[in-house]
Structure 1
Amino acid sequence: MADGHGLTDRELRTWRTFLGIATLLNQQVEQQLKDNAGLSHPQYEVLARLSNAPNGELRMTELAGVALTSKSGLSYQVTQLEKAGLVSRRPCTTDDRGIIAALTEAGWTKLRESAPDHVDLVRKFFVDPLTAEEFAGLSKAADALAARLGLTSKTMTALRERPA
């Protein structure tokens, strides 16, 4: 039966469950990263995305794309990471307007130290509760949603690269 707004009871229940799961997972990740690494989830994502790039560096515009954040939001996070000595910025040698963000040695160290706990949490709350068949279904559904939302294959590839 539809709720009067075009969703069946099952669709509405699934939507609300999805929102609750996403909120609770994000809270768990945020708290774990704050407690264990002194990082926010967006800051960890910046470090992780830089670690996947050649030489640990990316143009800020590319980084914003793979970190799925706005340029202003990214700029704020990179500024905080720069103050902590985990990231540095420099002008792009091939484009006067471009800025390169790069992991520092301290940034590499912070990521290596924090990644195992982060991966354990992802495994505990996201992977392990599901059977292999359930996880395969979730993976397929996530790919379909990503495609519908217009995530490019380049962005999806970057999102899937390690670390978690």
Structure 2
Amino acid sequence: MNDMPEPGAAAAAHAANSELVRDFGLLIKSATRLEQRIDAALRRECGISHTMLEVLIRLCRRPGEKVSQRQLADDLTLTSSGTTRLIDRMEEAGLVRRVPSPEDRRVALVEPTTEGSATFVRAAAVHARVVEKFFVRPLAADDYARLTGALSDIDKALREAAD
């Protein structure tokens, strides 16, 4: 039996341990852990998921605006079928309602219910508390400003590259 690493194993290990892989992994792990904390708090305190909160944010941003399911899918980077199932669950929970589009009978628009808006206000406070505790407070004010500025720059570069 040969205990020598196969050719290429050293190159693979070097690539797997690169700074870029490590740093991006840290970003993803941190974002995932924060999202899990937010989701757990929202489920425990408000009975909704983080994804449901994201829908309510989009629907409550401009009072009176109705948003198509397709637009929600695009905004939340969900599949069309995933969005349909999510809106089904939210409708069953009394958080949103579908209404026909006045311009196109084939399109269903989504709007928050009174209960959905009230749930959103409670959930936004829970979200803010968790974000403050785990995203804002661990950093000095200058570091937080640099981090959010850098994330904005990254987002802008990605949006421009997609165009």
Q: State the TM-score, normalizing by the size of structure 2.
A: 0.82
Match of 2:121 among 100, 112, 137: 112
Q: Deviations over 1:44-83 (max 9, x none)?
A: 1111110003415212222222223222221111110100
Specify which structure has the bigger relative contact order, considering alpha-carbon pairs within 8 angstroms and separated by 6 or more residues. 1
Q: CA 1:16–1:138 in 2, change beyond 3 Å: closer, same or farther?
A: same
**Deviation at 1:143?**
1.6
Match of 2:156 among 144, 147, 150: 147
1:136 correspondence with 2:148: no
Quote the Cα distance in structure 1 between the aligned partners of 2:35 and 2:41: 10
Please say if residues 56 and 103 of structure 1, whose CA atoms lie closer than 8 Å, have aligned partners that are also in contact.
no
Structure 1 residue aligned with 2:112 = 103
Give structure 1 regions of 4+ aligned residues with deviation exceeding 6 angstroms.
Answer: none
User: What do you get for the CA RMSD once the two structures are aligned?
Assistant: 2.1
Structure 2 residue aligned with 1:33 = 42
Aligned length: 150
**Deviation at 1:16?**
2.0
Quote the Cα distance in structure 2 between the aligned partners of 1:70 and 1:145: 24
Q: Of the two, which has the highest radius of gyration?
A: 2
| Equivalence map 1:150-161=2 (5 Å) | 150=159
- Give identity over the alignment, percent: 30
Q: CA 1:18–1:114 in 2, change beyond 3 Å: closer, same or farther?
A: same
User: Residue 112 of structure 1 aligns to which amino acid in structure 2?
Assistant: V
**Deviation at 1:141?**
1.8
Please say if residues 64 and 74 of structure 1, whose CA atoms lie closer than 8 Å, have aligned partners that are also in contact.
yes
Please say if residues 51 and 57 of structure 1, whose CA atoms lie closer than 8 Å, have aligned partners that are also in contact.
no
Q: Deviations over 1:28-57 (max 9, x none)?
A: 011001101111111111111100034152
Structure 1 residue aligned with 2:7 = none
Q: CA 1:35–1:131 in 2, change beyond 3 Å: closer, same or farther?
A: same
Q: Deviations over 1:118-155 (max 9, x none)?
A: 11111111112112221122112212221233279xxx
| Equivalence map 1:7-46=2 (5 Å) | 9-46=18-55
**Deviation at 1:8?**
7.1
Match of 1:122 among 125, 131, 140: 131
Structure 2 residue aligned with 1:85 = 94
Q: Provide structure 2 residue ranges, at least 5 long, that are not aligned to the other structure.
A: 1-10
